[in-house]
Structure 1
Amino acid sequence: MENLVEMLQELKIPFAYDHFAEGESPEPPFICYLIPGSDNFAADGRVYFKLNEVRIEMYTDFKDVALESRLEDVLDRHEIFYNKSETWIQSEKLYEVMYSFDMEGLNNG
């Protein structure tokens, strides 16, 4: 998880795990990231290789291709294969661009 935080710091925009506390949400753009699950590999009856599912949700008040490119450059530099999706959240008047990928967990092998 430290590597993930270090990667997000490279963007120099606010980010938080899962959500910002009520009333503390910054103005867009900002990022929420979470680790909603895992896809671990078992060997000899134990978790042998930890693989975490990661989601990075980037929120902007307009379609920001340049910021998306910056985030994708960071993921590419760290050799992360990702999938991307996008949605308009009408109630919040925000675009959400979500990047999902798997990231190696700690203490593998």
Structure 2
Amino acid sequence: MKTLLALLKETGIPFAYDHFAEGESPEPPFVCYLLPQSDNFAADGMVYFKASGVKIELYTDTKDPSVEKKLEDALDKRRIFYNKSEVWIASEKLYEVLYQFDMEVVYDAEEE
């Protein structure tokens, strides 16, 4: 988790887990991140390698490749393979660029 938080801080883009509290959402661009599922690897009937699916949702009010590049540079620096998709949310008048990837679950004492 430290690695993910460091990556997000490095971008300089405001972020929150899942959502910002109502009325506290910053002006775009901003990021919401989620850890919606595990993607563990089993061996001998037990979890051998713990991994979590990660979703980073980048919200902008206009298409902004320079903001996307900040996030992608932070991911690339850590050699994280990701998939990217994009959608216009008409009701919010925002673009959502979604980055999805898996990340090893490491507990704070073990993180570098």
TM range (shorter): over 0.9
Match of 2:97, SS state, is: strand
- Residue ranges of structure 2 left out of the alignment (5+ in a row): none
Q: By how many angstroms is 1:44 displaced?
A: 2.3
Structure 1 residue identity aligned to 2:28: P
Share of identical aligned residues, percent? Answer: 68
AA of the residue aligned to 2:104: E
Which residues of 2 match residues 48-87 of structure 1 at below 5 A?
A: 48-87=48-87
Aligned position for 2:19: 19
Displaced runs of 4+ in structure 1, greater than 4 A? none
Secondary structure in structure 1 of the residue aligned to 2:73: helix
The unaligned stretches of length 5 or more in structure 1 are none
Give the TM-score normalised by structure 2: 0.92
State the alpha-carbon separation in 1 of the partners of residues 41 and 65 from structure 2: 36
Alignment of 1:32-51 (within 5 A): 32-51=32-51
Cα deviation, residue 2, structure 1: 1.1
RMSD of aligned residue pairs (Cα, Å): 1.3
Q: What is the TM-score of this pair, normalised by structure 1?
A: 0.95
